[in-house]
Amino acid sequence: MAQIAESNQLENLEASIKIIDVRSPKEFAQGHIPGAYNLPLFSDDERALVGTCYKQKGREPAIKIGLEIVGPKMASFVEDASKIAPAKKILLHCWRGGMRSSSMAWLLELTGFQVSILKGGYKAYRNFVLSVFQKEFKLKVLGGRTGSGKTLLLQMIQNSGKQIIDLEAIAHHKGSAFGKIGFTSQPTSEQFENDLALQLLKLDTQQEIWIEDESKGIGRCFIPLDFWQTMRKSPLFVIKISDQKRIENLLKDYGDAAYEELAEPIKNLEKRLGNEKMKEALQFLDEGKLDEVACIMLYYYDKTYDYALTQKDTKEIYRLDCENLNENQIIEKLLNT
């Protein structure tokens, strides 16, 4: 008989136990447990068919249709599960830990698998994820105007032995209108939350965690409200470097991007830049004068960031003049402030 596992036990699973999500592909794509494999009992269309039957005719007819659909797939389920979990140790779940996971558990146990079922299914897991963001985290927020090199500094802080959370890496986006450059796609906001919770669970909550100052939205991903509020109340370290250095940083990050990758976000900023500034930036882009394009963008982003600073909830804002410092010296100054 399948064992029951709790959501808060997932981070301590032994490596040989594979998590299998038997929900439909569409459900899985919306959000899933990080590292889980999708072995759907029903396709998206099949799930819709069974659901419609359940609503219109009741439970028993829906089960019969489900059996007709699943029957021919049973051998392939076992074969696919064997590829996913050669050690034959599996943790199964569906949406609420109901019939889909129970049915798959019966089949796999019958064929020699050691099976556990996640109590409450993915729904319970999502509640667990949201509870993670309510914890008290000792955050230190790294701020600074666009082009200050905060992502590189965050990585250097990690290399110095400190804990970090890289929100932009988790979101697959750099946060600005140009933020998707260099990334293929973003996770859903739900998946972003799942991935962020996993990263937080790996850290020591008794120790400080460095994190980059971000808007609530990073592309199409949104920082969970409880965690966002913790960020806003946490000590903020605002570094100031020269405008020339910021332009150099931007050219390193975006200078190799294709023309359309740069032109599209400039056009999208027309309402905020104004039509004249937008046209000027596009003209500079046409002429290959990327430093001039960067200057126009900084003028806009500086005003936006400076205003955002006035809206912070924290009373601890440390403004650090780093204009004449290299990255190692900036790190030293940050860690000693």
Quick check: 2 pLDDT over 80?
no
- DSSP annotation of 324 reads T
Whether pLDDT at 287 is above 80? yes
| CA dist., res. 41 & res. 78, Å (int) | 12
Distances (CA, A) of 256 to 145, 181, 251, 297: 22, 10, 8, 17
Catalytic sites, residue numbers: 94
DSSP letter string over 29-40?
HH---TT-EE--
The rounded mean pLDDT for the chain is 94
Q: What is the pLDDT of residues 141-199, one digit of tens each?
A: 999 999 999 999 999 999 999 999 999 999 999 998 899 998 989 999 999 999 999 99
Per-residue model confidence (pLDDT) at position 222: 97
With 80 as the cut, is the pLDDT of residue 253 above it? Answer: yes
- Segment holding 19, helix H or strand E: strand 18-21
What does DSSP assign to residue 10?
G
> What is the token pair recorded at 244?
């020339």
Question: Which domains does the chain possess?
Answer: 3-130 (3.40.250.10), 136-335 (3.40.50)
- pLDDT bracket for residue 266 (50, 70, 90): very high
Q: What is the mean pLDDT of residues 17-29?
A: 97
**Beta strand pairing call for 37-38 and 89-93:** unpaired
Confidence of residue 1 (pLDDT cuts 50, 70, 90): low
For the chain, report the end-to-end CA distance as a whole number of angstroms: 57
